[in-house]
Structure 1
Amino acid sequence: MNRIVRNFINDAILTGKKAVVVGTGKSGLAAARLLDVLGADVRVADRDEAVTEEKLGALAGKVELVTGPHDKGHFADADIIVFSPGVPVKKLAPVLEGIPPQNMVSELEFASWFIEAPVLAVTGSNGKTTTTTLISAILEHAGRRVFTGGNIGVPLCEYLLDMDPAEIIVLEVSSFQLQNCRLFKPHVGLFLNFSANHLDYHEDMDEYLDAKLMLFARMTGEDTALLHESLHPLLDGRSFTNAHVEWFGSTDRFEAPHLPGEHNRSNVEAAWQAVKRFGVTEEQAAEAIRDFTSLPHRIEPVTEKRGVLYVNDSKATTLDAACSHVNDSTKATTLDAALAAVRSFDRPVRILMGGVWKGGDVAQFARDVRDRVVHVGLYGGSREVLEPELKRHFPVTWDETLELAVKRQAAMAAPGDVVLLSPATSSFDQYTGMAQRGADFKRVAGELDD
């Protein structure tokens, strides 16, 4: 438990205050734990009526749990409301009417009030987790004590309660988290790219971009905003930060044998530009980058059978090669997740796509991968969105399940081909998440005949 948390407890700043936490995911429950430790009277609200006291773990019997549709009674007496990531706050507007905006924060914002170490925060539509993890690997290789979390791994509230103090806080931050931040301020903020994503959550691309830019809103001239060069058309002339702004792009500065593709060369350069602000030498960075291996479900080679390489890129949940949805005057070309994966290979690609549609430009994607893709294997949901445009450019097949689609591609593939799971959708039509989808692909590929 850190010093600021102890001061809050000793000064009884939240003792007896009514706190409502919305959502019972990892971040929500971590926030509820911290509020309980701080002496607040905690209520946890979740729309899912199936949630029981058992999910509260050690908080069971210590905090109030309410489930089912939210109503004004859940929030009317709240001194502070903490939202879990992904809670659609705007949709709650009717039941939050009359509550001061300053009383409503994200778990990230709430936890940041207690942070003393400098924060290095990474956002973007794609590549956040790889870049965040790479940054931490470089810093740790250079001998720094690092906490890595936020939108991945351990929630920031949990770090405050359970972990030893770090010298540097490295966070992956999502638009969900940033949209309800007011005071959160990293020392270094990194914006990797911007393309259509989470349009099932955000009203439009403008709202999505505004949420991302909240990362930089409170930064000062002593802080650094690192922005990918593709963001120039979106951000030039726009006042969004007082930080010192620097731009980066793809380079061949470092040898990164386990991070293929142009998008990863850009991510590697971003990581270097971030860590050198903390005293890391280029030699130290080069050593860590050379040894860094790709993360599960992110252009992850799984197996090679009969000369055909099977690659798991289940994390690729977006499909938009250009940010043309923002407005006509602000277009920025970026590599979306599926496009970046296809371009990572210089051999014929058989791409597997399907799931719950999140938005994107199918026609542009098809044009951008015509020289790499030899077959599209659709499965599950979004066939009606993907097939009409894709079949104008490629042979397209559809199967009900991913397993059937993998087996079909295996039967048709020639030695030298890549069978790439890069779905460009979320997984919730047939799986509990992208990790389960990726694991299923790995299982099926592993069971194919040698």
Structure 2
Amino acid sequence: MREELKGRLAGTAAAVVGAGRSGQGAALLLRALGANVRLLEAKAENVSADFAARATAEGIEIMTGPHLPEYFEGMDMVVLSPGVQAGKIRALFPIDAAPEVISELELSGRYAKGRVLAITGTNGKTTTTALCAHVLRHMGLRVFEGGNIGTPLADHVLSGDEADALVLEVSSFQAQNCTTFRPEVAVLLNLSVDHQDFHADMEEYLQAKLNLFARMEDEDLAVLPAEMRDDLESRHFTRARLHFFEATDRFECDRLPGAHNQANMEAAFQALTRFGVTERDMREALDTFVQHPHRLERVGETRGVLFINDSKATTVASLKAALEAFDRPILLLAGGKYKGGDLEALAPLLKRRVRAVCLFGDSREVFEKAWTGIVPLGWEPNMQRAVEWLMERAEQGDVMLLSPATASYDLYNNYKERGEDLRRIFRELS
């Protein structure tokens, strides 16, 4: 940590709710800033022994189990981890002395140095964040890449490392609880149904995303999807200069297939122009860009079937984009914790692109209601058996596509585990 930050929050009492990566980072950052810190986690198993030992050594109090009103008495600040609903936590606060409620991104942003490029949206955030960071590194800049992806911004602030640019993926959870965070460039890639188990409705979801832009000034740049132009221009949600983008064919990268990635590349380029990136720079950087795993990732080919790992596709919109990315017949693996979205609207696309679907895990009834009679449809309790079911119907040249349109928490701890399971199955078949 930079020397001038030490002790900045001395005398402050702070509670962090949630012990995931961002919660851990927030707790350690607050302690390094001099605050008295209490970390609250509902599930004791989410606090690893290694972190518990480090937190104890740092003087961080850890409390597990149900969150109780007395835990928030005397607190000046409460930092919420992604996925923790502010309303439920605020209901536990003292009536006459409610603390400030912020996200880890807001906390860390107050102490981070570097030009900020922030990227939000329902789909494509991780790919676009990684691409922007890659291009800026290609230009010779020192880049921190993180936020909702991989490394929390708190970890970067704690490290004391210097960066010319902070390229951040931002979720609706993080953006919703920002109060001063101001990017120089912010991108909204798209908006479709997601997190309806968290947000009250689509309007609240959109407002959470737009809060990322709320404190930008005239000299800042907001990059926005052209299909939302009429709605966004009528909202007056930011003072930043607005630039609307849409998919073009000016950039090509065989590791970024499909129209949705054409849009992602265009949005990235428009944002990067603020850093002096030219079309030539962009093309040169694309030649060496490597996609993050679990996003339309080519696993390999066996028995004439190409296996694609798109486990990060946790929404119906991301499934649609994946189906549109291939011109070969598709064997689709779908199912899991359904988060909302119009599955029935995919029927015409399924008829054109999909040879068969095998569901696995939860939400069987939701998918069957929408897709029965559209394509051959099966269900198995796990992915291993679902792949076997589809391989019995496979033909030379097919694509085995894991693009579940759901969260993974029915069978796996996260989407990464789900993607790794497909890789394991592929290796056994090969």
Q: Same fold (TM over 0.5)?
A: yes
1:59 counterpart (49, 55, 59): 55
Counterpart of 2:397 in structure 1: which amino acid?
G
Residues 373-392 of structure 1: pairs in structure 2 closer than 5 A: 373-392=354-373
Structure 1 stretches lacking a partner, 5+ long: 320-335
Contact 1:353 1:421 in 2 (8 A): yes
> Where does residue 198 of structure 2 map in the other structure?
201
1:369 counterpart (350, 355, 375): 350
Counterpart of 1:31 in structure 2: which amino acid?
A
> Where does residue 65 of structure 2 map in the other structure?
68
> Where does residue 43 of structure 2 map in the other structure?
48
Q: 1:300–1:80: structure 2 CA closer, same or farther, 3 Å change rule?
A: same
* 1:304 Cα offset (Å): 0.9
Q: 1:242–1:356: structure 2 CA closer, same or farther, 3 Å change rule?
A: same
Q: 1:52–1:27: structure 2 CA closer, same or farther, 3 Å change rule?
A: closer
CA distance in 1, matches of 2:85, 2:129: 25
* 1:63 Cα offset (Å): 1.3
Counterpart of 2:60 in structure 1: which amino acid?
V
Contact 2:129 2:167 in 1 (8 A): yes
Contact 1:366 1:393 in 2 (8 A): yes
Counterpart of 1:405 in structure 2: which amino acid?
A
Query: TM-score scaled to structure 1, two decimals?
Result: 0.92
> Where does residue 270 of structure 2 map in the other structure?
273
Q: 1:439–1:291: structure 2 CA closer, same or farther, 3 Å change rule?
A: same
Matched, 1:159 2:177: no
Deviations 1:99-156 (A, max 9, x none): 7677111000011111231100000000100000000000001111100010012111
Identity of aligned residues (%): 46
Q: 1:189–1:442: structure 2 CA closer, same or farther, 3 Å change rule?
A: same
Query: TM-score scaled to structure 2, two decimals?
Result: 0.96
CA distance in 2, matches of 1:52, 1:272: 40
Deviations 1:236-281 (A, max 9, x none): 3111111000001111111212111000011111111111110122
Matched, 1:395 2:376: yes
CA distance in 1, matches of 2:73, 2:383: 46
> Where does residue 33 of structure 2 map in the other structure?
38
> Where does residue 229 of structure 2 map in the other structure?
232
* 1:416 Cα offset (Å): 1.3
CA distance in 2, matches of 1:112, 1:101: 22
Counterpart of 2:42 in structure 1: which amino acid?
R
How many residues matched?
428
Contact 1:146 1:168 in 2 (8 A): yes
Structure 1 window deviating more from structure 2 (286-295 vs 183-192): it is: 286-295
Structure 2 stretches lacking a partner, 5+ long: none
CA distance in 2, matches of 1:109, 1:101: 18
Q: 1:47–1:99: structure 2 CA closer, same or farther, 3 Å change rule?
A: farther
CA distance in 1, matches of 2:99, 2:117: 24
CA distance in 2, matches of 1:342, 1:135: 25
CA distance in 2, matches of 1:52, 1:398: 35
Deviations 1:170-189 (A, max 9, x none): 00000010111111110000
CA distance in 1, matches of 2:420, 2:193: 25
Deviations 1:408-432 (A, max 9, x none): 1112100111110000000111111
Deviations 1:64-90 (A, max 9, x none): 111111111111210111111121222
Contact 2:379 2:386 in 1 (8 A): yes
Q: What is the RMSD computed on CA atoms of the aligned residues?
A: 1.5
